[in-house]
């Protein structure tokens, strides 16, 4: 990292590129790492949803189904105000 051009931090929080900074054609390594991590998280959630293991996740999971407890049943978009005991 020491031999790569960096944005100089001159303390006023404004971008000032180093004079020797040239064209950096490749995407920085940290961006690739972040992208891979984000992709892995998205894939993980997709797999969980597809396999049904994550079907209980989401804001709708606490919505009542009309049953006695109305706890973990799914009813997308049900208003939160309706969560009261009969």
Partner 1 sequence: MTMTPGLRKFALTAHVASSVGWLGAVVVFLTLAVVGLTSGDEDTVRGAYLVMEPAAWFVLVPLGLASLLTGLIQSLGTTWGLFRHYWILAKLTINVFATIVLLLYMQTLSYLAGVAAERPFSSDDLGVLRSPSPLIHAGAALLLLLVATTLSVYKPRGLTPYGERRRQVRRALSQD
Segment 18 to 57, residues that bind partner 1, using CB under 8 A: 23-24, 27-28, 30-31, 34
CB 54 within 8 A of CB 48: yes
Closest by alpha carbon to 45, among 54, 36, 32, 37?
A: 54
Under the binding rule (CB under 8 A), the answer on residue 69 touching partner 1 is yes
Longest dimension (CA), the chain: 72
Which of 54, 62, 73, 75 is close enough to bind partner 1 by CB under 8 A? Answer: 62
Using the minimum distance from each CB to partner 1, give the nearer residue, 53 or 83.
83
* Burial class of residue 41, CB neighbours in 10 A (0-12, 13-18, 19+): exposed
Report the interface residues with partner 1, using CB under 8 A: 4-7, 9, 13-15, 17, 23-24, 27-28, 30-31, 34, 58-63, 69, 71, 80-81, 83-85
């Amino acid at each position: 990292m020491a031999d790569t051009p960096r944005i100089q931090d001159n303390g006023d929080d404004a971008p000032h590129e180093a004079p020797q900074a040239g064209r950096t054609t490749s995407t920085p390594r940290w961006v690739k790492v972040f992208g891979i991590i984000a992709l892995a998280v998205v894939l993980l959630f997709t797999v969980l949803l597809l396999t049904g293991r994550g079907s209980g996740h989401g804001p709708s999971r606490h919505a009542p189904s009309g049953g006695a407890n109305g706890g973990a049943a799914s009813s997308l978009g049900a208003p939160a105000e309706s969560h009261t005991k009969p």
